[in-house]
Structure 1
Amino acid sequence: MKGFVSNIIKPLFSKWDFFLAVWLGVLTLSLGYRINIIPLLALFMGAKLLAKTSQLLYKLLVIIYSLIGFLYAPTGIIYGSPDVNVVGSFLYTTLEESIGFLKQTPFYAFLLGLVVLILGIALATEKKSTHAVASKKSLMMLSVFFVVLVSFGPMKKNRIDLSAYRFISDLVTAYRTVSTQNQGYAAIIQKKPIWQPVIKSRRYHTYLLVIGESVRRDYVHAFGGQFNNTPWLDSVPATLFNNYISAGPATVISLTNTLVYKQDREKQLNNSVVTLAEKSGFETWWLSNQGVKSHSDSPIARIAKSANHTGFINTGKADYSASSSDENLLPLLAEALKSPAGDKLIILHLMGSHPRACDRTQGRFDSDIGSKELSCYVKSIAMTDSLLGKANQLLSNSTANWTMMYFSDHGLSYIDKNSSRAYLTHGDSTKQNYQVPFFILSSDSTQRRVISQRRSGLDFITTFAQWLNIDDPAITGRCSMLSKSDCDEVNTVYDFNERLTNYNVLPSIP
């Protein structure tokens, strides 16, 4: 036994193995995965086996993964491993948004990335031959350890569940998905819409659809939030939907599953609320405070460009800085309202409460609620309420026959909750990621109503058609979505990978 240990086991390990194990652990965290002991041991044995057979390849991979871990750690800590949302956000983002993301990232995420880099450099540059080639028996034993650990731990659904391998696999899979989607979007947006609407009667001549950004319903006073940040919405005879859930947890995932018609889960961007309105005789406007680029437009920008008239405040970029105020949309709205066109659908796409909230408010807030960023978030909702009030006034001044609909694209999750560093960011693991405000106000509204029946962004095309008071053969009019009718509840939402998940089983973290 003593000879077995000294001749076979002992040569396999060195004093540097502790640092290798630590490095693999922090690397796993930085790549967005949880630490599980068996996969981590398998990864450790695999690294040891590689070091004993090819030190050059071992050190090269350590350096490469150290750089990946260092760069990805801020994203991995907040959003987890690569998925459709992460890859899509990367493709559609710009320097301004990236800077905003880095500003709100907690310091410990950068520290973790730095630890990965420093340990990796140390492992790759240590000069002593601590990974000297072992005997054939030692290598055989190491291989057995590795195979056994992989077979009984990390093998899931016929794939190797090792963080270093999974990161590359998940990244490639997500990129292919987003790339395939974009190619499909580019092709399908060119096709003619299938709409054949039948207009029952034109209730209003001007329809204003306002799409908010990153607003949690429990932070809106009019919907029961504790902070008095919606004085305008509190005072008007609107119809409030206090059980509306978004289709997804992030802008692109949510709005592409909200604003377009789907057949067999294929999102047909040519069959959107914009083209439905146009086929119904409306002149359409899309006025946006979110960016548009010529080379990598998101599917939302593609939908926007299908409108008769477009107005992007931030052409050529996606400006998430403090200078990009939603108030800048009001002159564009005023011009659209002055247009001599008959029936109009005007869509305002706000920056709203997009993280970082303090960029939206220029660092100002009305009351300190324990965290500067959360205080700014409350203020950003107050600013949206003020904007909606001004839009309401513009509508009233321009026409006597109008209606306004508002909803937010998704909610947010806490980071470092109950601390002075607390802030809100995108997430898909709680009900609050999907609970958003939704209301309708019209020129002939006389009383305030609350609809508590479940409504979903996945049914929005039906809701939108009923708002326009039209029928279409492609749209299922199975229920009166704008009333208190008990419609069949939609209990599914999309997660970051655009997989349907059961909303009802998600935890609630108010």
Structure 2
Amino acid sequence: MNFIARLRKLPPALKGLMFTFIPLAYYLFDKLNYSQAGLSAVLGFFTLTTLFYWRDILPHKRALFSGLLLSFLIIILLNIGFQSTLRDAFGVQQEDVIVVQSIFSTDMAESSEFFIQYARYISLNLALFLGGLVLFWFLFAAGPPPSTVMDKPKARRYWIAATVTILLLAIHFNPTLRKSNPLFYFPENYLRWQADLEEARQLYARLTVTNSDETLNSMIVSEGVGRRTVVVVFGESDTRNNWSLYGYERETTPLLEKVDGLIAFEDVIAADASTIGSITRMLTPATVEQSELWKEKPSVIVMAQRAGYKVHWITNQGTEGRGIVSILAGQSDRSVFTNKGGSRLEGTLDEAVLNPYKAALNDPAEKKLIFVHILGSHPSYNYRYPRTHAVFEGRYDDVVAERLASQGRSIWEITFRNMYDSAIYYQDYILSRLVNELIDRPNESAAWLYIADHGQDVAHNSDFSGHNRRAKEMWEVPMLLWSSDHYDLPGSDIAALRKRPYQADDLEHAILGLLGIEGGYYDSGLDVFSADYNLAQNFPRQLRGSGLDYR
């Protein structure tokens, strides 16, 4: 028996296993990331193994199952090619909102232009698709001989086929894997796209109504406030417990520690343990007690515009046009979305915000409010920094790693901590660039504020890393303030100022104070930078769903 005949007589499971080498090859040649390759391999293995089994034990239905086998092989390989093309041409994944929007809102003319513009990538991946299809079919699926399955007792043959069929169905209960199946991807994303459109329409309508709020007419710049630039930077998944600036053993923030006049607040609690919950409360009159108020009241963006400020929003979070934060950002005079990859996987490094940030600072407008929203240390941590900043990877013998090991943390979780600290180290570089860019403009009357949306539990409390609202590290966030000499910062006792207990759901008052705006939506008692700051108004601090007490 020749070699090809032996391959065709392999058991179905081995034939399915052979398929997994195709997505593996795509991964090794950097045409898929590990997640895409893994999901494609699992889907292909179970789908093809199941069909090979049924084709072999039902020889009278061989033509039917050969047709199904060929059809699903084509679908799975086309999906791999689709993902590879998106990665080659745009650096995005099929789950990205920009892909979903483009698929369902592009007309025939735009589609034709797309194929012409990206013919090189499409042709290459089409050739790889055809090569993979022909090679796999010729080696493992063509020809009449059945596999060794027919040597087994009939009852056992059916039992095995039924088992792999059940497993194929069972893996689709995993939402991530189900979304990777093109048979589910397109209908599910079409429904999601329709739902997003309706949600966005309703939200835009609500926010448009808030723009006519009568109290906005009272929002004016205080007398004596001239040219002014205020920068507000939002971090992501950033706990101050991993900053050397706050006493952490590893030197994660060396550059920020060198910035003269930078005030690091020592007792700040996040507005919420989620990005949307925090951002909507920090930018609007919404609070922990009245969390939906952002739908009814204007944002600080609108308030600043009404008082004469030009507002810029620069974000490396996700892509344009989807989600509550993006819709709020859309109220700005100018919005820049720098992320060209998936927001939770590879994404774009935060240095992408630097050039748009410089451009915003160079805007000749007399009064500017600039928001910068970075990815910070959002998981996956290892995608948040370049190799030049992977300084803590492989550290298993320093004081932090040894303490974690003594607490029973696994090597896996210590590795996560090393990657997280490397992300903080790179973020230190980004934040120092942002603040120093403002410092280097000596004639500016300016203020620079940084705060994270929430923290992260990275093996701090158990053998777990990720989102854990019951952990104090999820709530304890860094907050930094720098202001120019021209800036008359209220609350001049810096030592006392940095120790003020604070929860960030009242941040809009602090931003308005920095802008020098007064009116019906500004309360100096809730402005942590004001001499009038009232602790009683900010207490008790509430950590929704945490069980923690920060009174």
TMscore range, shorter length: 0.5 to 0.7
Q: Among 212, 221, 229, which residue is 2:235 paired with?
A: 212
Correspondence 1:36-435 to 2 at 5 A: 95=95, 121=166, 185-191=203-209, 192-194=211-213, 195=216, 196-200=218-222, 201-202=224-225, 205-235=228-258, 236-262=260-286, 265-269=291-295, 271-294=298-321, 297-314=322-339, 318-322=342-346, 324-362=348-386, 365-367=390-392, 368=395, 369-370=400-401, 371-398=414-441, 400-401=443-444, 402-414=446-458, 424-435=465-476
Residue pair 1:213, 1:351 contacting (<8 A) in 2 also: yes
Residue pair 2:339, 2:347 contacting (<8 A) in 1 also: no
- How much does 1:469 deviate? 2.2
Q: What residue in structure 2 maps to residue 438 of structure 1? A: 479
Deviations along 1:258-300, whole A, 9 cap, x unmatched?
Answer: 2112395433356112112111211110000012344xx2110
- How much does 1:430 deviate? 2.1
Residue pair 2:525, 2:534 contacting (<8 A) in 1 also: no
**Amino acid aligned to 2:373:** H
Aligned-CA RMSD value? 3.6
Paired with 2:370 and 2:526, the residues of 1 have a C-alpha distance of 26
SS in 2 for 1:334: helix
Q: For residues 455 and 418 of structure 1, do their structure 2 counterparts lie closer, same or farther at Cα, with a shift above 3 Å needed?
A: closer
- How much does 1:399 deviate? 5.2
Q: For residues 456 and 418 of structure 1, do their structure 2 counterparts lie closer, same or farther at Cα, with a shift above 3 Å needed?
A: closer
Residue pair 1:288, 1:348 contacting (<8 A) in 2 also: yes
- Total equivalences in the alignment: 333
Paired with 1:222 and 1:299, the residues of 2 have a C-alpha distance of 32
> Which structure is richer in relative contact order (CA contacts within 8 A, separation 6 or more)?
1
Paired with 1:425 and 1:202, the residues of 2 have a C-alpha distance of 43
Residue pair 2:456, 2:466 contacting (<8 A) in 1 also: yes
- How much does 1:381 deviate? 1.3
Paired with 1:493 and 1:283, the residues of 2 have a C-alpha distance of 33
Paired with 2:347 and 2:234, the residues of 1 have a C-alpha distance of 20
Q: What residue in structure 2 maps to residue 70 of structure 1? A: none
- How much does 1:193 deviate? 4.8
Paired with 1:344 and 1:275, the residues of 2 have a C-alpha distance of 13
Paired with 1:480 and 1:438, the residues of 2 have a C-alpha distance of 14
TM-score (norm 2): 0.54
- How much does 1:242 deviate? 1.1
Higher helix share: 2
Residue pair 1:284, 1:309 contacting (<8 A) in 2 also: yes
Paired with 1:472 and 1:344, the residues of 2 have a C-alpha distance of 19
Structure 1 gaps of 5+ residues are 1-92, 98-116, 126-176
SS in 2 for 1:255: helix
Residue pair 1:481, 1:487 contacting (<8 A) in 2 also: no
Residue pair 1:242, 1:437 contacting (<8 A) in 2 also: yes
Paired with 2:316 and 2:206, the residues of 1 have a C-alpha distance of 25
Structure 2 gaps of 5+ residues are 1-92, 98-161, 171-194, 402-413
Paired with 2:319 and 2:474, the residues of 1 have a C-alpha distance of 25
Compare 224-233 and 485-494 and name the one that shifted more: 485-494
Q: For residues 247 and 184 of structure 1, do their structure 2 counterparts lie closer, same or farther at Cα, with a shift above 3 Å needed?
A: farther
Residue pair 2:280, 2:286 contacting (<8 A) in 1 also: no
TM-score (norm 1): 0.58
